[in-house]
C-alpha cells in the first residue's frame, strides 16, 4: 500500500482548517468540531444556528471544486481499502467521537490550541490508536 506525500496541498489544507477554526471562534464564539457542526446542522437550535452550519458544511463539500480552479483538475481520490474496511472504520470513528465527546478537529485543532487537558489527552489517544491501526492493517493484516 503506497501513501502519497503531498506536503504543499496538506499545508494549504491545514492553514484553511486553522483559519476556519479561528474565524468560527471570532465570529460565532464557537469551537470548530466537524462532527458537532454536522450534528447541529441536522438538529438546529435556531435558524441562525443552522445558517452558519450550512455555510461551513457547503465550504467543506465544495473544497474539490476550489482545488480544480487552482490545479486545473479534480483531486484524485484513491481509497486504498475495501468497502467493508471503510464501514468498520466509520463505525469505530463514530464510537470514538461519541465516547470522546468530539472529533479530531474539535480536540486536535481547537482544544489543543486552548491547552485543554481533556483535548490533549484525546488527541494523544487518537494518535496512538492511529499508529497502532496503521501498523496492524499494513503489517499484520497485509492491507485490507
| DSSP 3-state of 27 | helix
Mean model confidence pLDDT for the chain: 86
User: For residue 3, what pLDDT is reported?
Assistant: 66
Share of the chain above pLDDT 70, in %: 97
Quote the CA–CA distance of 137 and 121 in Å, as a whole number.
Answer: 24
Share of the chain above pLDDT 90, in %: 21
User: For residue 5, what pLDDT is reported?
Assistant: 77
**Could you report the per-residue pLDDT of 68-127, keeping only the tens digit for each?**
999 899 888 878 778 898 898 889 888 888 888 888 878 888 888 889 999 999 999 989
Give the start-to-end residue ranges of the domains of the chain.
7-140
User: For residue 134, what pLDDT is reported?
Assistant: 86
DSSP states of 95-139:
HHHHHTTS-HIIIIIIIHHTT-HHHHHHHHHHHHHHHHHHHIIII
User: For residue 105, what pLDDT is reported?
Assistant: 78
Amino acid at each position: 500500500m503506497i501513501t502519497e506525500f503531498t506536503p504543499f496541498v496538506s499545508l494549504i489544507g491545514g492553514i484553511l482548517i486553522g483559519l476556519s477554526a479561528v474565524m468560527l471562534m471570532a465570529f460565532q464564539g464557537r469551537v470548530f468540531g466537524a462532527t458537532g457542526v454536522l450534528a447541529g446542522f441536522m438538529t438546529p437550535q435556531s435558524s441562525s444556528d443552522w445558517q452558519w452550519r450550512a455555510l461551513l458544511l457547503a465550504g467543506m463539500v465544495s473544497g474539490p471544486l476550489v482545488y480544480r480552479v487552482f490545479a486545473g483538475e479534480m483531486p484524485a481520490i484513491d481509497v486504498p481499502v475495501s468497502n467493508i474496511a471503510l464501514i468498520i472504520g466509520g463505525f469505530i470513528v463514530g464510537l470514538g467521537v461519541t465516547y470522546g465527546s468530539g472529533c479530531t478537529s474539535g480536540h486536535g485543532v481547537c482544544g489543543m490550541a486552548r491547552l485543554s487537558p481533556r483535548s490533549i489527552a484525546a488527541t494523544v489517544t487518537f494518535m496512538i490508536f492511529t499508529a497502532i491501526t496503521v501498523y496492524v492493517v499494513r503489517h499484520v493484516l497485509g492491507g485490507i
